[in-house]
Amino acid sequence: MPSIMAASRSNPLLNSLPRFLTWRSLGFRTICSGRLGFAPSDPDPEPPVSTAGTKFLETFREEFEIGSRLITFETGKIARFANGSVVLGMEETKVLSTVTSSKGDSVRDFLPLTVDYQEKQFAQGVIPSTYLRREGAPKERELLCGRLIDRPIRPLFPAGFYHEVQVMASVLSSDGRRDPDVMAANATSAALMLSDIPWGGPIGVIRVGRICGQFVVNPTMDELSLSDLNLVYACTKDKTLMIDVQAGGISEKDLEAGLRLAHPEAVKYLEPQIRLAAKAGKHKKDYKLSLVSDRTLEKVRNLTEAKIEAVFTDPSYGKFERGEALDNIAQEVKRTLEEECDTESVTVLSKVVDRVRKGVVRNRILAEGFRVDGRHLDEVRPLYCEAGYLPNLHGSSLFSRGDTQVLCTVTLGAPRDAQRLDSLVGPPTKRFMLHYSFPPFSINEVGKRVGLNRREVGHGTLAEKALLAVLPPEDDFPYTVRINSEVMASDGSTSMATVCGGSMAMMDAGIPLQEHVAGVSVGLVSEVDPSTGEIKDYRIVTDILGLEDHLGDMDFKIAGTRKGVTAVQLDIKPAGIPLDIICECLEPALKGRLQILARMDQEISAPRTQDHRNSPRLATLKFSNDALRRLIGPLGVLKRKIEEDTGARMSVSDETLTILAKNQTVLERVQEKIDFIIGREIEVGGIYKGIISSIKEYGAFVEFNGGQQGLLHVSELSHEPV
């Protein structure tokens, strides 16, 4: 006993052990007897709730409405390690956008901005249908959405900011009712506002449709299917950053009305981003900017300006002759600087020479109204059109505008040749495709051809949008159409040349287009007041060269017919352009487009008839199910035999037989074989000639009636036993 008492004094827990056992026994008896509502007269105080191991996530949220849709910005709950991360929600669709940056690289003279947009199938509760059941390489739509995000945010990074920046946008949840691309662009703007990356935002991005003449803000996918306008507009508070339009031939007046409606709606995205950044944003870091000193700029300008001006004022120079002369000037200046041991100027020479070139070209346009090739501001380069350039094709054309040249071909296929789309929104298939190819030889360079190229996908999609507006409905023209555009030479606006060449190739293929579609690119050269940053003088130039695209402020591509606009794409370099100037560009674009359309009509003004030898034929025939079963034969033998013999392709669906033949002669051969099989029903007791294809112990298999097979039983081979 003394030892127990000593142990109790040394360990107080032993004193409480008997009481603990008594409490456990009483508690157990109370629970078993059902007396849960009776508490002891002197209950022990409840132990405090422990919060050890619990992590509290501070979440910041902003809600607002646009076009009767509730929109939310949220940050702090997920992707907390990213420099900036925002989840944008609209109804049941949620998109996450994150931004990160790395240290700068003094060797670079450009902004290495990467935008990756991804739609994973889990966002709609679907397992991918690929072999590995994983998402593969980026799809065309994902590349296009990435470009849609990149184009409005890129101009707002400060000059000389050459740090690597990566934007990753992912669709977390999709109800299939709304296109997440605009949501991803707005989420990216908010994420950049929250980050410590220097950026001149925020921006607002909005989609506008038009149904029965009435504009619709933030339309659903069902509403877009009824709309003759799909306008995506991005802006800051008072300036335009990006425009992307697909339309059914909307007039310039109505397009301007849509743009002026879109601007105030897009601005509604700005204030919530500012409030969110005030609550949860990081302090902007003082990143090192790679800027050229005034001394270096002035020194190189004195050495090069007069020589560069002499090159640019000589209209006899072509693209490569001009480039070679400018390279010689740069090499001469480099040797001079090396002799003076001016390593600082040598390091940034290419950047400085480019600035001098830019100043010379822009000053001549602003002061004299003339361009480097001697054209007036609204003058279109010489045109060359040739339809049916290649033999043995369904359709082809060659189109040249100045030194830019594209070769377009058209291939017609059956409805089953339509492209299958694997997207969260939109139709499951696409029957009209335009594939644009920009090989390195078109600019006399060496390069590799690997995978999908973002630029090629973007240019091809723009031309595809422009031509889709004049494609006949599927009921009138059930073919699948594929256009290939091969750029043979590039000196600016190859996508608009593709529109012109594609339109002529479609008419050459006999596609019943009502009218041609043409495109032209409009540029801008402006002079900015350094004290206010506002444009004080500007010139609009039509049909820009590649050099003018590089040294100018804007590339405004507009395609359409005589009746209206079918596609628009605006990309800019400064931090926004006033909408009034953008709308002013519509008139010179129309003037240039009409001039190009007139030249195209001189070459081919109506679709060719489909009686020439290269035109494919698509025939749709109705038969009963019994007749189709006879045509297909056992295990499809008869159908395959006809396809092998003629080269045609046949498909059967809902008592309908669709035939795609290479030409009219092949189609007639196929129809003869079909009539021979289906038109002659086998009569009981009838006598037919046939060929024995195989002999078995129980009889012979006979092929007759155009390929049908039957068993001639051994008992029927002869009147005598066999």
pLDDT tens, residue by residue, 410-460: 999 888 889 998 889 989 999 999 999 999 999 988 988 777 789 999 999
pLDDT at 282 over 80: yes
Give yes or no for a contact between 139 and 132, defined as CB atoms under 8 angstroms apart.
no
Tokens read off for 186: 């707005």
Tokens read off for 133: 């059941």
Query: Is 60-280's fold the same as 383-603's?
Result: yes
> Tens of pLDDT along 187-200?
999 999 999 999 99
Task: Tell me what pLDDT residue 708 has.
Answer: 66
Query: Which range among 115-119, 274-278, 579-583, 663-667 shows the weakest confidence by mean pLDDT?
Result: 663-667
Q: Does residue 533 or residue 544 have the better pLDDT?
A: 544
Pick the CATH number of 383-603 from 3.30.420.40, 3.30.230.70, 3.40.190.10, 3.50.50.60: 3.30.230.70
Q: What span, in angstroms and rounded, lies between the C-alpha atoms of 333 and 416? A: 61
pLDDT at 27 over 60: no
pLDDT at 370 over 80: yes
> Tens of pLDDT along 305-353?
888 888 888 878 888 888 888 888 888 888 888 888 777 777 778 888 8
pLDDT at 288 over 60: yes
Q: Does residue 262 or residue 717 have the better pLDDT?
A: 262
Q: What span, in angstroms and rounded, lies between the C-alpha atoms of 612 and 60? A: 67
pLDDT category at 33 given cuts 50, 70, 90 is: very low
Q: What span, in angstroms and rounded, lies between the C-alpha atoms of 105 and 162? A: 7
Tell me the percentage of the chain whose pLDDT exceeds 70.
Answer: 89
Bridge partner list, 85: 98
Q: Edge-to-edge strands of the sheet including 649-653?
A: 617-622, 656-661, 649-653
Task: Tell me what pLDDT residue 7 has.
Answer: 44
pLDDT category at 34 given cuts 50, 70, 90 is: very low
End-to-end CA distance of the chain: 115
Q: Does residue 503 or residue 657 have the better pLDDT?
A: 503
Which residue is it, tokens 């494609």?
Answer: 471
Q: What's at 404, amino acid-wise?
A: T
Q: What is the mean pLDDT of the chain?
A: 87
> Tens of pLDDT along 73-102?
999 999 999 999 999 999 899 999 999 998
Tell me the percentage of the chain whose pLDDT exceeds 90.
Answer: 54
Q: What is the mean pLDDT of the segment spanning 145-153?
A: 97
Longest dimension (CA), the chain: 123
Residue 498 burial (C-beta neighbours within 10 Å; 0-12, 13-18, 19+): buried
Q: What's phi and psi for 558, nearest 5 deg?
A: -135, 125
Give yes or no for a contact between 470 and 567, defined as CB atoms under 8 angstroms apart.
no
Task: Tell me what pLDDT residue 101 has.
Answer: 93
Name the class of domain 294-368: mainly alpha
Q: What is the mean pLDDT of the segment spanning 620-637?
A: 83
Q: In the 3-class helix/strand/coil scheme, how is 454-479 assigned residue by residue?
A: HHHHHHHHHHHHHHHCCCCCCCCCCC
Q: What's at 505, amino acid-wise?
A: A
Task: Tell me what pLDDT residue 136 has.
Answer: 83
Residues 6+ apart with CB under 8 A from 109: 162, 290, 348, 350, 351
Q: What is the mean pLDDT of the segment spanning 459-473?
A: 96
* 31-35, 287-291, 450-454, 571-575: range with highest mean pLDDT: 571-575
Domain coordinates in residue numbering, the chain: 2-32, 60-280, 294-368, 383-603, 617-716
Task: Tell me what pLDDT residue 600 has.
Answer: 97
Q: What angle do CA 611, 615, 616 make, to 5 degrees?
A: 120
Task: Tell me what pLDDT residue 130 has.
Answer: 82
Tokens read off for 91: 């109804």
Task: Tell me what pLDDT residue 44 has.
Answer: 58
Pick the CATH number of 60-280 from 3.20.20.80, 3.40.50.12160, 3.40.50.300, 3.30.230.70: 3.30.230.70
Measured over the CA atoms of residue 534, residue 538, residue 540 and residue 546, the dihedral's sign is negative
Fold of 617-716: Ribosomal Protein S8; Chain: A, domain 1 (3.30.1370)
Q: Does residue 278 or residue 321 have the better pLDDT?
A: 278
Q: What is the mean pLDDT of the segment spanning 139-165?
A: 94
Task: Tell me what pLDDT residue 4 has.
Answer: 42
Q: What's at 219, amino acid-wise?
A: P
Task: Tell me what pLDDT residue 403 has.
Answer: 93
Q: In the 3-class helix/strand/coil scheme, how is 37-86 assigned residue by residue?
A: CCCCCCCCCCCCCCCCCCCCCCCEEEEEEECCEEEEEEECCCCCCCCEEE
> Tens of pLDDT along 223-258?
999 999 999 999 999 999 999 999 999 999 999 999
> Tens of pLDDT along 577-626?
999 999 999 999 999 999 999 999 999 999 988 666 567 888 888 888 87
Q: What span, in angstroms and rounded, lies between the C-alpha atoms of 209 and 229? A: 5
* 37-41, 565-569, 706-710: range with highest mean pLDDT: 565-569
Which residue is it, tokens 């030194």?
Answer: 403
Q: Does residue 698 or residue 483 have the better pLDDT?
A: 483
Q: What is the mean pLDDT of the segment spanning 93-120?
A: 88
pLDDT at 54 over 70: no
Q: What span, in angstroms and rounded, lies between the C-alpha atoms of 162 and 160? A: 6
